[in-house]
Amino acid sequence: MKFAHLADTHLGYRQFGLVEREKDFYEVFEKVIDRIIEEKVDFVIHSGDLFETARPSPNALLVFQKGLLKLKGAGIPMYAIAGNHDMVMRKGAIPPQVIFKRLGLKVISPINTNYTHGDIFIAGLPYYPSSQVKVLKSKLADLSKKAADYEKSILVLHQGIDKYFGHNYELEIGEIPDNFDYYAMGHIHNYVNDSFGRGRLVYPGSTEIWKTNEVKDYNENGKGFVLVDFSGQKIHTKRVKIDASREFISRSLEYDSLESGIAGIKELIQNFDKKPILNLQINNVESDTGMVYEMINEELSEFALMIRPKFNMADEPIGPDIENDATIGPEELITEQLKHYGCDELNQFGLDLYDFLSKDKIDESRDLVEQFFSEFYDKSKKYEKAPQEELEEVQETLDGVLK
Ligand SMILES: [Mn+2]
């Protein structure tokens, strides 16, 4: 018995607002499906965040439908749970996965928590936010009891675990029942393959680069899915790498030697099959950034899908590398992003809001935002930017942190 485990395909995600990036996510998904069929597996498990949103576009739905029907044609069923992205946090709300039940998708939900495939017990739950961890834990205990009757069992979850996710986790590793053989996890976009209990705990990671800070892991472990062989006494897992659609290139340039720096990058990328995403950091800038930007654009725009420059002025210290350093914590990230407003109250507001939101204190968050708004914008109009624009930026920063 052999199966494929994938997660976090985020179909419909239009990264940087680019249609090309939306297509990249579709293309990779199609490659994954083709490869799974080649591998002649018995079934597939998708551990959540199948779609980018709970209301996917017709395009996203069609790409999935095509993949699902291809699998069906090859006699391969798919089991799936909803992740935090493809779920609306409202009572009675249903995830888009449900649409595909009639096409054979085996949706694992709180009502329908488990299946058996041959002699394998497949159980799971959709994503539970940290405010509902109590419910999650009691349901896990129920599933653990049921699994005890089977020799081979799989637990499918879309959650952060403290051991692998520095912040925003819902479960501590010790809170997970240890009598399953395979833990088919989703949510963390980097590849994790660990031993746990008597089996393996695996996050296959996202199938495309969803955030720039996934590039490091992509270079080390690749993107793709995991093949699991359940035939013998012991479980065997194999990472199957599927190349991301295009490269993300990050370079740090010095203002002093900008021309040669740009020439070097041009040399590197001009013959790429697919235009890369370029993240450029330009240090010690001594002139107007507009001019530097123009120069970069003129030389490189024809060879890059997108250029994302970051300027460090000559008289400013270089801050942490927010885009690429995955070890930076959320509080640090918020402080760093908000510091250019030079306003302590705004910084504190960002941190408080993060704290509330990460604990799912929605009402408190709303009060905090209203309070902040009335205090600083209604009366004093203290800042130059329009309040809406500024609040949106704060929200964007928080969205980035709260994956
Ligand atoms: Mn995800």
Out of 269, 291, 321, pick the residue that ends a domain.
321
User: For residue 356, is pLDDT > 60?
Assistant: yes
Domain identity same for 385 and 342: yes
| Residues forming the active site | 85
Domain identity same for 289 and 336: no
Cα angle 327, 331, 337 (rounded to 5 degrees) comes to 95
Domain identity same for 280 and 175: no
- Residue-wise pLDDT for 280-290, tens only, equals 999 998 888 88
What integer best gives the mean pLDDT of the chain? 90
Dist. CA 398 → ligand 1 center (Å): 15
Domain identity same for 199 and 315: no
The tally of domains found in the chain comes to: 3
pLDDT value of residue 381: 46
Model-wide pTM > 0.85: no
Dist. CA 8 → ligand 1 center (Å): 5
User: For residue 355, is pLDDT > 70?
Assistant: yes
- Residue-wise pLDDT for 173-198, tens only, equals 999 999 999 999 999 999 999 999 99
Domain identity same for 193 and 98: yes
Domain identity same for 235 and 268: no
Instruction: Give me the residues near ligand 1 (ion), CB cutoff below 5 Å.
Output: 8, 49
Residue 378 belongs to domain spanning: 329-403
pLDDT value of residue 380: 45
User: For residue 384, is pLDDT > 60?
Assistant: no
- Residue-wise pLDDT for 303-353, tens only, equals 999 999 988 888 776 667 766 677 777 888 888 778 777 777 888 888 888
Out of 218, 241, 264, pick the residue that ends a domain.
241
Dist. CA 206 → ligand 1 center (Å): 7
Region 241-249: mean pLDDT is: 95
Domain identity same for 250 and 305: yes
Domain identity same for 26 and 126: yes
Domain identity same for 22 and 142: yes
Dist. CA 336 → ligand 1 center (Å): 24
User: For residue 391, is pLDDT > 70?
Assistant: no
Dist. CA 165 → ligand 1 center (Å): 13
Dist. CA 174 → ligand 1 center (Å): 23
Domain identity same for 236 and 306: no
Domain identity same for 298 and 166: no
Q: What is the CATH classification number for the domain harbouring 226?
A: 3.60.21.10
